[in-house]
Amino acid sequence: MKGRRYKMDSPLCWMLGLMLPLHVCAYPNGKVQSACSSMTPEHGVTAQTSPAPFNITVNQTVYTPGDKIIVKIVSSSIPIEGFLLQARTAANGKSPLGSFEITGENMQTLNCTTANSAVSHTSDAEKPVVEVIWNAPSKSAGDIKMRATVVANKTIFWVDIEGPKLTYQLSVASGIMGPTLGTHIFCNLLAISVFKIPFLELLNV
Ligand SMILES: *[C@@H]1O[C@H](CO)[C@@H](O)[C@H](O)[C@H]1NC(C)=O
Ligand SMILES: *[C@@H]1O[C@H](CO)[C@@H](O)[C@H](O)[C@H]1NC(C)=O
Ligand SMILES: *[C@@H]1O[C@H](CO)[C@@H](O)[C@H](O)[C@H]1NC(C)=O
Ligand SMILES: *[C@@H]1O[C@H](CO)[C@@H](O)[C@H](O)[C@H]1NC(C)=O
């Protein structure tokens, strides 16, 4: 079920398609929900084990609930024909967390367990860079790592490559309520804006 379909004009694809419906061929349209868990394309060949020729970058490595973070997949030497990007707990999480927003063409969000929790390609057009926005979960999810599978072509791909760690930090709003936080000066500076929130809640607006 995983992976991309071989090109529809391939006789092999038709033959295999008759024998193993939906099982073998590749998915140039990126509808790879079947790979949500393994992140592995089923192209009939094994993934590369060499160091991945791409990097995952983020514009901040600390996050609080609800933050928006820019995530990029940057390739130095290979074309990115296909990709699957997710955020999971740094401690080897199995399920994607948070949600993604796309910022350009040739990509789409996928519902992997929860809405828009993964991003993939929409065609096998070569993409020099992938740039998306990740919305951190509204509740603490702990430390996170971005993870990506990148497909250069039908036979060459790297699976489940880890990106930088995003360290979870209490938000200022919850921190000011906590007794152990050593950020009192900072919080005092922000107190006026922070205390507006419970005030507004009292007014029910
Ligand atoms: C990824 O980033 C590291 C550290 O900045 C750098 O040394 C490496 O060349 C980069 N690799 C690619 C494929 O961009
Ligand atoms: C990262 O980008 C997001 C989205 O533009 C922005 O809201 C956030 O403040 C940025 N973080 C940093 C540290 O610049
Ligand atoms: C697949 O991609 C690799 C890495 O970019 C390249 O060396 C190889 O020639 C490509 N093969 C095909 C069939 O396009
Ligand atoms: C993904 O989830 C959203 C929100 O629940 C829903 O509106 C959308 O139809 C779902 N998309 C697919 C392809 O299931």
The protein residue with its alpha carbon nearest to ligand 1, atom 5, reads 55
What is the Cα gyration radius of the chain?
21
Mean local confidence (pLDDT), 172-181? 47
Q: What is the mean pLDDT of the chain?
A: 79
**What is the per-residue pLDDT across 44-70, written as a single tens digit (0 to 9) for each?**
899 999 999 999 999 999 999 999 999
Report d(CA 198, CA 149) in Å as an integer.
43
Please name which of 48, 38, 47, 44 lies closest in space to residue 10, comparing C-alpha atoms: 44
Report d(CA 4, CA 49) in Å as an integer.
20
pLDDT at 2 over 60: no
Residue spans of alpha helices (H) in the chain: 11-19, 172-175, 184-202
Q: 83 in helix, strand or coil?
A: strand
**What is the per-residue pLDDT across 56-111, written as a single tens digit (0 to 9) for each?**
999 999 999 999 999 999 998 999 999 999 999 999 888 999 999 999 889 999 99
Please name which of 89, 126, 92, 86 lies closest in space to residue 109, comparing C-alpha atoms: 86
Given this model, what pLDDT does residue 171 score? 66
Q: 190 in helix, strand or coil?
A: helix
pLDDT at 163 over 80: yes
Query: Is the minimum distance from the CB of 111 to ligand 4 under 6 angstroms?
Result: yes
Query: Is the minimum distance from the CB of 115 to ligand 4 under 6 angstroms?
Result: yes
* Pocket lining for ligand 2, CB < 6 angstroms: 59-60, 68-70, 133
172 falls in which pLDDT band (50, 70, 90)?
A: low
Report d(CA 51, CA 67) in Å as an integer.
30
Helix (H), strand (E) at residue 162 = strand 156-168
Ligand nearest to the CA of 81: 3
Given this model, what pLDDT does residue 27 score? 83
pTM: 0.77
Best residue among 32, 102, 111, 116 to mutate for probing ligand 4's pocket (most ligand atoms within 8 Å of CB) is 111
More confident residue, 183 or 160: 160
Report d(CA 103, CA 174) in Å as an integer.
30
The protein residue with its alpha carbon nearest to ligand 3, atom 1, reads 153
**What is the per-residue pLDDT across 109-152, written as a single tens digit (0 to 9) for each?**
999 999 999 999 999 999 889 999 999 999 888 999 999 999 99
Helix (H), strand (E) at residue 47 = none
Please name which of 176, 99, 190, 88 lies closest in space to residue 137, comparing C-alpha atoms: 99
